[in-house]
Structure 1
Amino acid sequence: MFGMLMEVALVSYLVASLTFALFGAFLFVRHHGQPRRVVLGAICAVNALWALLLALPLWAPANWPMAAALLEGARNLAWDLFILLLIGAFGRDGGKGREGRRTVPHADRWLVLVAAFYGLQLACTLAVSWRYGYPLQAGEFTAMTLLRTTSAILGLFLIEQLYRNTIDTQRWGIKFACLGMGLMFAYDFYLYSDALLFRHFSPDTWAARGFVNALAVPLIAISALRNPRWSLGLKVSRQVLFHSAALFGSAAYLLVMASTGYYVRLFGGSWGTVAQLAFLCAALVLLLGALFSGGVRSRLRVFISKHFYHYNYDYREVWLAFTGSLSAKGPDLERRVVEAMARLVESPAGAAFVVRAEGIETVARWNMAVAAQPDAANAELLRYLGEKQWVIDLVQHREHPAHYDHLVLPAWLREVPRGWLVVPLHVQGALFGFVLLAQSRSPIKLNWEVTDLLKIAGRQAGSFLAQHQVATDLMVARQFESFNRMSTFVVHDLKNLVAQLSLLMANAERHKDNPEFQRDMIDTVDFSVQKMRLLLHKLSRKDSAERNEVIALEPLLQRILHAKAGFGPAARLIVAASGLQVTADVERLERVIGHLVQNALEAVAPVTGQVDVRLDRVGEQALVEIIDNGHGMSEQFIRERLFKPFETTKSAGMGIGVFESREYLHLLGGELQVQSTEGAGTRMGMRLPLHVSAAHAAPQLLEENP
């Protein structure tokens, strides 16, 4: 009876192994560049090997108890990871996945939980003594059976999450796969829970396990037929596949090296241990060198893209990385453009060139010693790139020049070592420049997909470079504008000083013997010297920032009127409210008010003219009015020309005095009001916020000066 049961078990597990092997081979052969089928095929291969290891001891006197136990854990882990990958791919587009599934919360935490659980199971498996697939000790038997029961429960839980988080219209595509995987985990749960209860495995249940696993294959195959692309939301990114391939490759390499090291030690005699350590160290150094090698990594990426994907690029990841490189903070945008475009084709070097009026200028170099040189063929190259907008393959150009209309390339470009691609940079249909890339680390077929991506990337990079150049030119223009404006204000101040000195010289011959005139002359010259020294000091010091301070308006107005006494009729100061203070830069405020007073003096008649400067308080503001009976201004002139910089009606004027006055008053929080009538005169009103202490002064100050 027991012998017949052994034969049934042998057939059962052989059927399971053969079924999984055939289905896995079918998926590998007919994967059509679909990584989903490759992953599922690998899982089937693990299941086939696991079933085979359980069948062989029933047929031959071989026994691999540890290997069978490890493969069973690997089998369960593979199915769990497959389900987690399906779950983790959902919920990326506003709560619904690309395949129409709802978001599964905390799927990444489940991955950590699964990894921790199987790590614990692996440690326990390695610590247990096995015979014929079973632990020898009773305590070890209970612990391992409990872990495997938990593994079955975990698998059923993940399958339930996968099915429940798939919308109804999509469940038809995965329900048979869920049934197949659920059948395997449910049977394992029954097998191990029964063993946990009765302290031994049921021989009948164990023998039928292979048939049950084989029955799961057709169910999974039905889902594969319903979904030829296995569109269950399984989106294996290139980065994940790249790192997984590198990880598994490294693990396989280390396993082979460890086995080789064992035999080196075994047959090495007295030098065995030393030779083994030296061999393993050399193998580890070789592995690290390969992992950090740009060429090896490049070849692996190209191999994965070529054999597992329909397209060479994951365009979402590529474009995010490309745009992120260009928009990163910091200088050297041209260099970042070269590096970003080089990464698209695994190129290790490159250079960027822009078109100038005088020819081609090299603006960036990355691992490439090249510089544009004057050449008669430069103009022909720029014309060709501008008209055709093609990516030029320098290798193809050397072999088949007719493909590029027998274009003659500049000598400096032909002589670049390992030069490969010339990518044009276009902005609004015009050629802005081009990027030269070196040959890639691994062979890349330059097909339409690669050239189209390079063209689009070239347009994007050209836009960034053009915007950067415009911003640089604008910054330089603003610096020149600031310098010119400062020069204009300097000339304006000098003009006022020259006007004062000119008036002094005009009256000197007639009043040179008048002692009062002599005193005024000395004061005027001294005032002019102080103003010029102050102007030179401002121009020479690096920190010319204005310093605001509390200013009493009445003494300031008296000083201004005294300085303007020789420019025409004597201006009269009328103080309607005394003790008013404001916060401002004293020199600039004096210049602003002095300019408006001088304009009023120049606008009135020499004999009948009258200028009044009135100081008053309006609420929380000081009001300084300059009133004259001069020729006045029209409303159109005030509206269109008065405050326009560099507009003036004076032969020696600069046209910035009133403009500067209004801008500075606005800066202080005040305003400049103008009322004027042609032939009747003008009233300029300056409103300034009062200093805090002055604004809360006793109201009797106003009562004393009604």
Structure 2
Amino acid sequence: MIAVAALGYVLASGLFLMLAGWALLAWRGRPHAAMLCLASLLSAAFFGNVVMSILAKTGSTLLIEGLEILRSAAWCLLVIRIVSVHRNGTVSAAPSARFHASIAVMFALAFLVTAALSLPLFQQDAYTATIRAAVRVVIAIAGMALVEQLYRHTPSDGRWAVKFACFGIGAMFAYDFYLYSNATLFRAVNVEVWAARGFVNAFTVPMVALSFSRNPRWLSGIGVSRRMAMGSTTILGSACYMLVMATAGYYIRVVGGDWGPVIQWAFLAGAIILLLSILSSGTARSWLRVFLAKHFYHYSYDYREEWLRFTRSLSHDGPALSERVIKAIATLVESPGGSLWTQAPEGNFRQQACWNAPTLACEEPENSAFCELLRQHQWIIDLDDPARLPDELPDFSMPEWLTGMSQARIVVPLLLRGDLFGFVVLMQPRSKMKLNWEIFDLLRVASSQAASHLGQQHAAEALLVARQFESFNRMSTFVVHDLKNIMSQLSLVASNAERHRHNPEFQDELLATLKHSTQKMRFLLQRFSQGHAPESPAPVSLDAIVRQAVAEKAGLQPRPSAEIEDGDLVVLANSTLLLRVIGHLLQNAIEATPGTGRVVARLRRRGEAAILEIEDTGQGMSDAFIRDKLFKPFSTTKSSGMGIGVFESRTYIHELRGTLVVDSRQFCGTTFKITLPLYDCEGVSLGTAA
């Protein structure tokens, strides 16, 4: 076993030495050659010292462990350098110098712990060996996290250049993690796993060399995203926490006597519950995000991620837009709540919505000094720094309702086209945050976008109200038109009442006319009723509708007649509206025809359609009038007409998939031809009117 282990370590040392020599000779055009050479030399020195300690049974344990730590640090720094480079070869603005310093501090602490444990002060037993192994586990986790970031955040078209380097370096750290986590758990290094370490590391050299030759500059446009840094830090911190807790639990088990195992498991269960509570805490996540942005990045925000999230928050379905606006702006500063104030119709500003904030019933006058500050200066107010106000407002004081909100921190104005549309009051952030120019600029841009969304919603609501009024006015026009027809019938009855009041037939017609007029007016009132549901289309007998329409006009002159050539014709329609359409056309024909003329409603079947022709011998219409004015609303030749009856009739006929055409000759008469698809007993239309 010793000979096999020595062979593996010799092979690894030789290959890393060759890789260092190649990197040293091929340094031109390769910005990472020096770091690769350093990492390879330290790896060769480490494996060489291990071989010497095996064969000669001599060597300093501290030197070997120190070289191992330096070797791991060099490979981690190489990965960080690759991650920190853009395509143009300049250092990215993502990881700052503090990030590199933190890595250096971690390895320095690891070296100091290892050196301290080698002092005679500490007994070299299983406990100190376990601590040494735990330090190596932390280093291996850090290395794997960095390699994972390198691979994940390399564009897919550039991964061919770095994937073998990721596999090789990742395999080194993964094998170290397995070796030392096993040693930590069992308080002893597995000899077989340790013996194979040289061969495993030797296998990684060709992969690193292949990746180095594929892309000498290793410029992949890679940047460490904040989300990935957050995830990696969380994983690394959790792993370190569980490692410490496992060590403490093992110590409790050893010194706890008979109750040791019970106390150990209770301690580990409590540690896991505590870890889950911390990971699910919004305050803890907020603190970690602020800490990473403050200490490891030049800028506080990943603007691409923030803008995509902000846009998704405003655009996606969910709560009301006003609440989504509060959440989207509050998330930018890690605030857990806020309220939105918008301008009421009378001009003052009221609280429109709130999210995890108190509901207030007060108002802020639109001409107050507070609103003027937001409107004219576009000022974002930091309530924790009231002295930060424009110089021209020395005597400015906050509104009482705002000072009464103990948790309020920031007031963000919402400006739309240069005017104050509203403002958002945000609560204190979850973690301590100092507002600077970067946060103010981001809030200004975000508030402008939010104001645009709110303004668009406000305009859409105003348009909806305008359309409702338009629909109401249009309905009023049709109702007035129907009232005009009813008035005409009642006026005719009133003019004949003096002469025929003792005539029984006239009295019957009078009662029928009054009954019909009452029904029509009731129908008109129902149309105006908000809660009235329109009658659904149903199969109706067309010949019965025609006869009823003709009967209702029987008191007029000339008296219309009905000619039913084909009976039992059924169509799918609203019987009231269809009767109204036929009544309109009959009324127009009667009014256009002298008393000695003739008005006929003729019904027949043609194929799968019903044909209704309303023919009169009246004045007729010119081709120009039919083409330009007949079917347009408010165009008429009658002094008392409104010009919407024919327009309404054709609109409803088209809704029934029918047609309405007119044939007219001046001074000879007019024929309106309605074509409707028939309805069969199986509940489907037999065809579409041609």
CA distance in 1, matches of 2:168, 2:68: 29
2:559 aligned residue (570, 590, 597): 570
Does the C-alpha gap of structure 1 residues 173 and 597 become closer, same or farther in structure 2, counting only changes over 3 Å? same
What amino acid is aligned across from residue 424 of structure 2 in structure 1? V
CA distance in 1, matches of 2:592, 2:172: 91
Other-structure match for 2:59:
7
Other-structure match for 2:95:
35
2:154 aligned residue (82, 90, 109): 90
CA distance in 2, matches of 1:495, 1:305: 75
Deviation at 1:691, TM superposition (A): 3.3
Is the contact made by 2:172 and 2:201 (CA closer than 8 Å) also made in structure 1? no
1:559 aligned residue (548, 551, 555): 548
Other-structure match for 1:319:
307
Q: Deviations over 1:429-448 (max 9, x none)?
A: 33211111223232323222
Q: Deviations over 1:513-550 (max 9, x none)?
A: 33333333343344444545666677779563433344
2:124 aligned residue (32, 50, 62): 62
Bigger Cα displacement from structure 2, 110-119 vs 33-42: 110-119
Does the C-alpha gap of structure 1 residues 8 and 288 become closer, same or farther in structure 2, counting only changes over 3 Å? closer
Q: Deviations over 1:303-333 (max 9, x none)?
A: 1001111111111221122112212224422
Matches within 5 A, 1:463-502: 463-502=452-491
Other-structure match for 2:414:
425
CA distance in 1, matches of 2:686, 2:256: 101
Q: Deviations over 1:606-630 (max 9, x none)?
A: 33x3323333555644332323343
Structure 2: tracts of 5 or more residues without a match: 1-51, 85-90
Determine helix, strand or coil for the equivalent of 1:470.
helix
Determine helix, strand or coil for the equivalent of 2:350.
strand
Deviation at 1:451, TM superposition (A): 1.0
CA distance in 1, matches of 2:202, 2:137: 11
Other-structure match for 1:670:
658
Residue 310, structure 1, aligned to residue 268, structure 2: no
2:333 aligned residue (345, 366, 388): 345
Does the C-alpha gap of structure 1 residues 584 and 504 become closer, same or farther in structure 2, counting only changes over 3 Å? same
Is the contact made by 2:557 and 2:590 (CA closer than 8 Å) also made in structure 1? yes
1:355 aligned residue (343, 346, 352): 343
Is the contact made by 1:377 and 1:410 (CA closer than 8 Å) also made in structure 2? no
Determine helix, strand or coil for the equivalent of 1:565.
coil
Residue 367, structure 1, aligned to residue 419, structure 2: no
CA distance in 2, matches of 1:565, 1:157: 106
Other-structure match for 2:368:
379
CA distance in 1, matches of 2:635, 2:645: 10
Number of residues paired by the alignment?
620
Q: Deviations over 1:627-654 (max 9, x none)?
A: 3343444555545544344555656655
Other-structure match for 1:591:
580
Is the contact made by 1:372 and 1:412 (CA closer than 8 Å) also made in structure 2? no
Q: Deviations over 1:575-608 (max 9, x none)?
A: 566664433222211110111110111122233x
Is the contact made by 2:347 and 2:366 (CA closer than 8 Å) also made in structure 1? no
Determine helix, strand or coil for the equivalent of 2:237.
helix
Deviation at 1:104, TM superposition (A): 9.5
Is the contact made by 1:425 and 1:459 (CA closer than 8 Å) also made in structure 2? yes
Determine helix, strand or coil for the equivalent of 2:360.
coil
Bigger Cα displacement from structure 2, 429-438 vs 278-287: 278-287
Is the contact made by 1:611 and 1:629 (CA closer than 8 Å) also made in structure 2? yes
What amino acid is aligned across from residue 497 of structure 2 in structure 1? A
Is the contact made by 1:83 and 1:159 (CA closer than 8 Å) also made in structure 2? no
Deviation at 1:658, TM superposition (A): 1.8
Bigger Cα displacement from structure 2, 401-410 vs 624-633: 401-410
Other-structure match for 1:184:
none
Matches within 5 A, 1:81-120: 81-91=145-155, 96=157
Determine helix, strand or coil for the equivalent of 1:90.
coil
CA distance in 1, matches of 2:352, 2:649: 45
1:451 aligned residue (436, 440, 465): 440
Does the C-alpha gap of structure 1 residues 403 and 335 become closer, same or farther in structure 2, counting only changes over 3 Å? farther
Does the C-alpha gap of structure 1 residues 413 and 12 become closer, same or farther in structure 2, counting only changes over 3 Å? closer
Deviation at 1:391, TM superposition (A): 1.8
Deviation at 1:685, TM superposition (A): 2.3
Bigger Cα displacement from structure 2, 455-464 vs 237-246: 237-246
Matches within 5 A, 1:187-226: none
Residue 247, structure 1, aligned to residue 235, structure 2: yes
Residue 172, structure 1, aligned to residue 216, structure 2: yes
Does the C-alpha gap of structure 1 residues 384 and 56 become closer, same or farther in structure 2, counting only changes over 3 Å? closer
Is the contact made by 2:136 and 2:180 (CA closer than 8 Å) also made in structure 1? no
Q: Deviations over 1:441-460 (max 9, x none)?
A: 32323222111111111011
Of all paired residues, the percent bearing the same amino acid is 40
CA distance in 2, matches of 1:314, 1:590: 67
Deviation at 1:507, TM superposition (A): 1.8
Deviation at 1:129, TM superposition (A): 7.7
CA distance in 2, matches of 1:523, 1:238: 83
What amino acid is aligned across from residue 321 of structure 2 in structure 1? L
CA distance in 1, matches of 2:220, 2:102: 15
What amino acid is aligned across from residue 473 of structure 1 in structure 2? A
CA distance in 1, matches of 2:198, 2:392: 65
Bigger Cα displacement from structure 2, 144-153 vs 418-427: 144-153
CA distance in 1, matches of 2:593, 2:210: 93
Structure 1: tracts of 5 or more residues without a match: 136-140, 175-230, 698-706
Determine helix, strand or coil for the equivalent of 2:368.
helix
Is the contact made by 1:16 and 1:51 (CA closer than 8 Å) also made in structure 2? no
What amino acid is aligned across from residue 443 of structure 1 in structure 2? K
TM-score normalised according to structure 1 size? 0.72
CA distance in 1, matches of 2:231, 2:640: 77
Is the contact made by 2:677 and 2:686 (CA closer than 8 Å) also made in structure 1? no
What amino acid is aligned across from residue 670 of structure 2 in structure 1? T
What amino acid is aligned across from residue 298 of structure 2 in structure 1? H
Does the C-alpha gap of structure 1 residues 125 and 661 become closer, same or farther in structure 2, counting only changes over 3 Å? farther
Is the contact made by 1:24 and 1:44 (CA closer than 8 Å) also made in structure 2? no
1:334 aligned residue (305, 322, 342): 322
Bigger Cα displacement from structure 2, 584-593 vs 594-603: 584-593
Deviation at 1:569, TM superposition (A): 0.5
Q: Deviations over 1:210-267 (max 9, x none)?
A: xxxxxxxxxxxxxxxxxxxxx6454332223223323333443444455556666777
CA distance in 2, matches of 1:18, 1:483: 83
2:428 aligned residue (429, 439, 444): 439
CA distance in 1, matches of 2:616, 2:131: 109
Bigger Cα displacement from structure 2, 345-354 vs 398-407: 398-407
CA distance in 2, matches of 1:542, 1:115: 73
Is the contact made by 1:50 and 1:68 (CA closer than 8 Å) also made in structure 2? no
What amino acid is aligned across from residue 309 of structure 2 in structure 1? A
Deviation at 1:34, TM superposition (A): 4.6
